[in-house]
Each structure stands twice: as structure tokens, then as C-alpha cells.
């Protein structure tokens, strides 16, 4: 078995027993990455690889392990979605407008994982431009391919983060999730993708897309791995005004589901859901029932409005967040005689089509004439959705359903049809609007050998129950 096929939980034990070194492990990943770069059909998970930095940090990790000054994450290489700042390295957000921008500080997650825990930095991972997309096709740095079948999309926007796990180009990665961008690519690439509760993980140093929805989280091979990374980066941070002081409940994973109440929302199991996925999800739910879980049909009536609400709130917030990219403060500038022309030329040249679509939509939504009828209405419906979730969580501990309506789709299949692309997130968006934690766990392959993901959602700040439920699901498929 090759080193790069192992979960970080195992690698961590091998490192602390000194059976392997971090330099050896990091080099194994760098070799896989350079092999992929030479492939005529590369996965293209990375925008920038940082081999010198990674090996230097790996050497330091080995020294600290020798000196017994280490944590379970010391020496495990990390891949970072390229909208999270790593000091001294370019943050591109996969956009042309960011050309030339070098991060001047570390994001809080980078400070905790790399500086404090000693994880070597492999590189910056590809994504949809400014995290807007579900297929990784809107990146200025080219499409990412799904390692399960390179004709297919890995999903998005954290497509690089998911493809790196599936293609053994990183043992664990960071993604961000605004409407599903960790869970959807995790489902399409057959890995674990975990979005913590809003406010659990500091967003300081992550480029904002929609500030009331964004959350950083891990993508990994196993639930145990995701928990390890999550616990090392979660927790209060004074630099993020939405960061929560709620204590982290770290239960050991035992997969015990006896008496656990699991809700199956009927709105998840409609004709929009692919038959094969539906059957596999139901089989998994029934297996949990056999182990003592109590299944219950529940209803989230407002869920059908979630995509519409999201595609009002997210573009509105994005249009204001992206105002700062004007050619003066960051990245690329297209100079002109008038300042206003500099703004216009820079933004016209620098942003791609999808980003422009969102900015125009958001600006329209926030205009005086449409604010009440769109933005305010969407916030009201968002509140109704929150009430729906509160009611469901009075009856059950977890919500179980699919992560995506279909398995991976072909590259090019949906890019010219934004509505069909947007509907990819129909099952993931609600967790962002409500703020709940949610996770996608792989539950095998379909008849075309493409992965299927199951999604669990828990009450806000109940990551403990969520991760244990996910571990129970994972155990069904590892048996």
C-alpha cells in the first residue's frame, strides 16, 4: 500500500513512531503532483505548488517530532483552497483580477494548522473564480478534472480541494462552503467534506464571497481525519466578529447510533433525485435503523425556496464584498486617464462571466427599487426556513439525505446553463442559510463507477453528534 493512499490518522501514528518522516511523506505527495502535471490530461488540482516551502516545513516538523514537541497533525502536508491567505504566497481566488497579489498575512486557519501544528504547506488549490460555481470550470487557471473519470467535473467550488484528495495529491485539504462548495465536490469526488456551524471556524484571511454564509472546513479521506483537522482550527478568534465562543464538544467517534433520531425530509426524495442515489441513501438509512437508530419522515416545506433565496442573498453580499477589487488596492490594474475608467477597465478585464453575472444581479437586488421586493423578501423567507429547521430539530437529532441530485456530470455539460448549474446545490444550500453544520460522506459508486455522497445535518454547534453519525455511515461502507 502506498503512503499517499493512507488516511492522516494512520500517517500521524507512523510519524510519531518514526516509521516514516514528514520529508518522505511530503516528497511522496510532491512526486504525485509533478507526475500529474506531466499528464496530457492533468487533474490540475493546484494553482500553485510550493515544494521548497513544504520540504522546509517538513524538515522542521521532523525535528519537532524527534524532540517530542508535536501534535497529531505535525508533519502531515496540507493543501489550501486558493482564496485563503498564506503569508508571502499569491492568493489568486482563481481570478485574473488578483494577478500579482501576494498575501501579507496568514489566515487564522493557516496560523493554527501550519504555524502552530506544523503542517507543511503543499500549495494553493484550484477553485471556481471567487468560489462562484459548482464545477470548477469558472477558474481562470483552467478546469479541474475528476480523478474518478477525467471527462467529468469534480464539482465546485472547492473542486481542487476534493480532486486532490481523490487523486492522492494531498492527504487533507481546506475548502470553503457558501452554498455547498465543500460538500458537493466531496460527494462528486468520493471524499468526506465537512462544513462546520457558521461561526465555528474563523473566516479571517479567507476572501469573502457571501459573508453571512461562508464557512471554512476540511476535505479528507475519512471522518476521523476531518474531525482531527476541524478541532485543530475551530474555536473563537477575536479577528472575526462572527466567530463563536461556544465550546467545542469533542466526543470520541464510536459510531453508536442506538436511540439516535434521524429525520428524512420528504422534500429531499422527489423526482429530481437520481434513482440510484435515492436507493443507496435509503439503504444506508435502513442499515442505521438496524443498528438502533430511529428513522422518521419529516418536512422542511421552505426548502424548495432555498435556491431562490440563496441566489438573491449570495449575489447581493458578493456584489458588496467584491467592490474592493478596483485595481487600486489589490492585484491587476488596467490604467486609464480617469479614475472611473480605471475601475471599469480593471473590472471588465479582470472578472470572468460568472462573477460579473453575480455582481450585476447583486447590484440590481440591492438597488433602491428592488431592495424591498427581493432582498428583504429573501431574508424573510430565510427566517421561515430557519423556523422549519428548528421545528425539525425538536423531533430529530440529525437530518439525512443526499448531498447532490446527481453524481458527477461531464465537463462542459452545464456551464452554459446557469440555472441547471445552480440547482446542483439544491440539497446543500439550506445548511448555509440556516447556519447548521453538515457533512457529505461517500457511500460507494454508482453503475458508472462515479461516487455517491450522503449528507447529514445537525443542530447548530452539535458537530459532536454530526461527526459520530457520519462515522456510523462510513463504517457501513468500510465493513
- Considering only 82, 129, 177, 388, the residue that binds ligand GLN (CB under 6 A) is 177
- Considering only 79, 147, 179, 205, the residue that binds ligand GLN (CB under 6 A) is 179
Residue facing ligand GLN at closest CB distance: 181
Q: Does 187 bind ligand GLN (CB under 6 A)?
A: no
Give the closest residue to 404 by CA, choosing from 443, 437, 434, 435: 443
Helix axes 377-395, 306-321, angle to 10 degrees: 120
Nearest distance, CB of residue 187 and ligand GLN, angstroms: 13
CB-based contacts of 291, cutoff 8 Å, min separation 6: 257, 258, 472
Report the SS3 class of residue 321: helix
In the numeric block, the cell 465537512 is attached to 194
Nearer to ligand GLN, 177 or 225 (CB): 177
Which range touches ligand GLN (CB under 6 A), out of 9-17, 72-80, 177-185, 390-398? Answer: 177-185
What is the C-alpha to C-alpha distance for residues 250 and 260, in angstroms, rounded to an integer? 18
What is the C-alpha to C-alpha distance for residues 54 and 29, in angstroms, rounded to an integer? 10
DSSP code at position 237: -
What is the C-alpha to C-alpha distance for residues 124 and 45, in angstroms, rounded to an integer? 9
Which range touches ligand GLN (CB under 6 A), out of 97-105, 174-182, 239-247, 368-376? Answer: 174-182
Nearer to ligand GLN, 272 or 283 (CB): 272
What is the C-alpha to C-alpha distance for residues 152 and 24, in angstroms, rounded to an integer? 32
Task: Convert residues 7-26 into a mask of x (bound to ligand GLN by CB under 6 A) and - (unbound).
Answer: --------------------
Q: How many CA atoms lie within 13 A of 478 on its CB side?
A: 12
Nearer to ligand GLN, 209 or 393 (CB): 209
Q: Are the beta carbons of 330 and 96 closer than 8 angstroms?
A: no
User: Rule CB under 6 A: which of 407-436 touch ligand GLN?
Assistant: 425
User: Rule CB under 6 A: which of 313-332 touch ligand GLN?
Assistant: 314
Q: Does 132 bind ligand GLN (CB under 6 A)?
A: yes
Task: Give first-to-last CA distance, the chain, whole Å.
Answer: 19
Find the DSSP H helices in 17-93.
Answer: 22-38, 51-66
User: Rule CB under 6 A: which of 23-42 touch ligand GLN?
Assistant: none
Nearest distance, CB of residue 438 and ligand GLN, angstroms: 12
Nearer to ligand GLN, 66 or 353 (CB): 353
Task: Convert residues 296-315 into a mask of x (bound to ligand GLN by CB under 6 A) and - (unbound).
Answer: ------------------x-
Which is the catalytic residue, given 21, 22, 81, 414?
A: 81
Q: Does 137 bind ligand GLN (CB under 6 A)?
A: no
- Give yes or no: 241 in active site: no
Nearer to ligand GLN, 44 or 157 (CB): 157
- Give yes or no: 157 in active site: yes
Q: For the chain, percent helix, then strand, then coil, each to nearest 5?
A: 45, 15, 40
Nearest distance, CB of residue 18 and ligand GLN, angstroms: 40
Q: Are the beta carbons of 350 and 97 closer than 8 angstroms?
A: yes
Applying CB under 6 A, which residues contact ligand GLN? 131-134, 157, 177-181, 209, 314, 425
Amino acid at each position: 500500500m502506498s503512503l499517499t493512499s493512507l488516511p492522516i490518522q494512520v500517517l500521524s501514528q507512523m510519524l510519531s513512531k518514526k516509521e516514516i518522516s514528514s520529508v518522505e511523506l511530503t516528497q511522496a505527495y510532491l512526486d504525485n503532483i509533478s507526475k500529474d502535471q506531466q499528464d496530457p490530461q492533468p487533474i490540475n488540482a493546484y494553482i500553485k505548488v510550493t515544494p521548497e516551502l513544504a520540504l522546509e516545513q517538513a524538515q522542521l516538523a521532523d525535528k519537532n517530532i524527534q524532540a517530542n514537541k508535536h501534535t497529531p497533525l505535525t508533519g502531515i502536508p496540507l493543501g489550501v483552497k486558493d482564496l485563503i491567505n498564506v503569508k508571502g504566497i499569491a492568493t489568486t481566488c482563481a481570478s485574473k483580477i488578483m494577478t500579482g497579489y501576494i498575501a501579507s498575512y496568514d489566515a487564522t486557519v493557516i496560523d493554527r494548522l501550519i504555524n502552530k501544528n506544523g503542517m507543511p504547506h503543499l500549495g494553493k488549490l484550484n477553485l471556481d473564480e471567487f468560489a462562484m460555481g459548482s464545477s470548477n470550470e469558472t477558474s481562470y487557471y483552467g478546469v479541474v478534472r475528476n480523478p474518478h473519470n477525467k471527462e467529468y467535473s469534480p464539482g465546485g467550488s472547492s473542486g481542487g480541494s476534493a480532486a486532490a484528495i481523490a487523486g492522492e495529491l494531498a492527504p487533507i485539504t481546506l475548502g470553503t462552503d457558501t452554498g455547498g462548495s465543500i460538500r458537493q465536490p466531496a460527494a462528486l469526488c468520493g471524499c468526506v467534506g465537512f462544513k462546520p456551524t457558521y461561526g465555528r471556524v474563523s473566516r479571517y484571511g479567507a476572501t469573502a464571497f457571501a459573508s453571512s454564509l461562508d464557512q471554512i472546513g476540511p476535505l479528507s479521506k475519512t471522518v476521523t481525519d476531518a474531525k482531527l483537522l476541524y478541532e485543530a482550527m475551530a474555536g473563537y478568534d477575536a479577528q472575526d466578529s462572527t466567530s463563536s465562543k461556544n465550546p467545542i464538544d469533542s466526543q470520541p467517534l464510536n459510531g453508536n447510533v442506538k436511540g439516535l433520531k434521524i429525520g428524512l425530509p420528504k422534500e429531499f426524495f422527489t423526482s429530481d433525485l437520481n434513482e440510484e442515489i435515492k436507493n443507496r441513501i435509503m439503504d444506508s438509512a435502513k442499515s442505521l435503523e438496524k443498528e438502533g437508530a430511529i428513522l422518521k419522515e419529516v418536512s422542511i416545506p421552505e426548502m424548495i425556496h432555498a435556491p431562490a433565496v440563496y441566489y438573491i442573498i449570495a449575489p447581493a453580499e458578493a456584489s458588496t464584498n467584491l467592490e474592493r477589487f478596483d485595481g487600486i488596492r489589490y492585484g491587476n490594474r488596467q490604467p486609464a486617464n480617469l479614475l472611473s475608467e480605471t475601475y471599469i477597465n480593471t473590472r471588465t478585464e479582470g472578472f470572468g462571466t460568472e462573477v460579473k453575472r453575480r455582481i450585476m444581479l447583486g447590484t440590481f437586488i440591492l438597488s433602491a427599487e428592488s431592495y424591498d421586493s427581493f432582498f428583504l423578501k429573501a431574508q424573510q423567507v430565510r427566517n421561515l426556513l430557519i423556523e422549519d429547521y428548528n421545528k425539525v430539530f425538536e423531533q430529530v437529532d440529525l437530518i439525512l439525505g443526499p448531498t447532490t441530485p446527481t453524481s458527477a456530470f461531464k465537463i462542459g455539460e452545464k456551464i452554459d446553463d446557469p440555472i441547471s448549474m445552480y440547482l446542483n446545490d439544491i440539497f446543500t444550500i439550506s445548511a448555509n442559510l440556516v447556519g447548521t453544520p453538515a457533512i457529505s460522506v461517500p457511500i460507494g459508486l454508482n453503475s458508472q463507477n462515479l461516487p455517491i455522497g450522503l449528507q447529514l445535518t445537525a443542530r447548530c454547534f452539535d458537530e459532536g453528534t454530526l461527526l459520530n453519525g457520519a462515522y456510523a455511515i462510513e463504517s457501513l461502507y468500510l465493513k
